[in-house]
Amino acid sequence: MNSAVYEGTLLHSRRSPRHAFAFPIAMPLLQLDELDKALARHPLWSIDRTNAVTFRRADFLGDRAVPLDTAVRDLVESRLRRRPEGPIRMLAHLRTWGWLFNPITIYFCMDDTGRHIQTLVLDVANTPWHEHHVYVIDGGEGEHRFPKELHVSPFFGSDHVYQLRLSEPGKDLHLHLASLKDETVVFEATLELRRREMSRAALGRVIWRYPLLTLRVSAGIYWQALRLRIKGAPVFRHPADNRRNIAARMVER
């Protein structure tokens, strides 16, 4: 089975004001054509059925009436004019005890051999607005640069460029995302993960070792935001708020 559980650490580091933290984390890497077999390995994991951990189709990219595997392929084809033919693997949290928030969901579109990444799809969500933006990256392991297109956090503006470095998901999985302004790194997020085989024991371990994990992800975002405000981090308005204010002033005139 190509599906697995990855465990490790998420590290965030901001340059100004200086702020950093590390967060223990576990995430399943699910090959989408293996969902039934993978999640059937533990009675507290299920698909579209209330449970301790649930894969709910509506939580992820595209029309819920379309299989997720197909939705990813359709999106890549619409952006790159090339349809992925190999397996699709998704690294993401699943709904846990009824709660879910994924700051980023990563879809690895593999080549025909299933050994190498051909295309990356990054579904990024922001806080507190819970908006989504999907980046489609032509290529796999190595470094990629692309402009920031979503107001992810109130503590950074939108005039940034992302620098992504990642490895093939194997025994280990390394992902590093830096946010650059004028070619200077202002923020970095790093995932350092180790693979565990998809087994009943590994799935059970996620539940007992990382209790309320998805709720802790959401709570942690707001806790770190409070710490940043105390440190005096500037706040950037959502671009949509700025547009509404400009429109309102024009109407008043």
Coil, helix or strand for 88? strand
Number of domains in the chain: 1
To the nearest 10°, the Cα dihedral for 103, 136, 175, 90?
70
Alpha carbon distance 63, 57 (integer Å) = 9
pTM of the model: 0.91
* 108-155 pLDDT, tens digit each: 999 998 889 999 999 999 988 889 999 999 988 888 999 999 998 888
Bridge partner residues of 187 (DSSP): 14, 179
Average pLDDT, integer, range 247-252: 37
Residue 73 CA to residue 57 CA, distance in Å, equals 16
Q: What are phi and psi of 69, to 5 degrees?
A: -55, -45
**Residue range(s) defining the domain that contains residue 40:** 4-252
Q: Sort 43 into a burial class: Cβ within 10 Å, 0-12 / 13-18 / 19+.
A: exposed
